[in-house]
Amino acid sequence: MRHLMAPHWRIAAISPLLALLLPASALAEPNCDISQFTSVATAFQKGVVSGGKGGRAYFHNGGDGCPSEACRRKAYVIAGDIVLVGSTSTDWTCVAFVGAKGAITGWIAKDQLALTATNPNPSLAAWGGEWKSGRNSLSIQAQNGGSISVNGLALWGDGPAPRTGEVQGAATPTGARASVKDGACQVTLTLADDWLIASDNQQCGGLNVNFSDVYRR
Q: Tens of pLDDT along 59-87?
A: 999 989 999 999 999 999 999 999 999 98
Q: Does CATH number 2.60.40.10 belong to domain 26-117?
A: no
The answer to whether 70 and 62 have CB atoms below 8 angstroms apart is no
pLDDT band at 40 (very low <50, low <70, confident <90, very high): low
Please state, in angstroms and rounded to a whole number, the distance separating the CA atoms of residues 176 and 196. Answer: 10
Using alpha carbons only, how large is the chain's radius of gyration in Å?
Answer: 21
Please state, in angstroms and rounded to a whole number, the distance separating the CA atoms of residues 195 and 176. Answer: 11
φ/ψ of 183, rounded to 5, equals 65, -125
The amino acid present at 171, given as its one-letter code, is A
**Average pLDDT score over the chain:** 86
pLDDT for 215 beyond 90: yes
User: What SS3 state is found at 86?
Assistant: strand
pLDDT band at 196 (very low <50, low <70, confident <90, very high): very high
What DSSP element (H or E) covers 66? Answer: none
DSSP per-residue codes, 87-134: EE-SSEEEEEEEETTEEEEEEEEGGGEEEEEPPSS--SGGG-EEEEET
User: Strands of 163-171's sheet, edge to edge?
Assistant: 129-133, 136-142, 148-156, 163-171
* Across 106-126, average pLDDT: 96
pLDDT band at 13 (very low <50, low <70, confident <90, very high): very low
Instruction: Give the pLDDT score at 39.
Output: 78
Instruction: Give the pLDDT score at 8.
Output: 33
pLDDT for 148 beyond 70: yes
pTM above 0.75, yes or no: yes
Instruction: Give the pLDDT score at 17.
Output: 43
Please state, in angstroms and rounded to a whole number, the distance separating the CA atoms of residues 181 and 197. Answer: 16
pLDDT, greater one: 40 or 205:
205
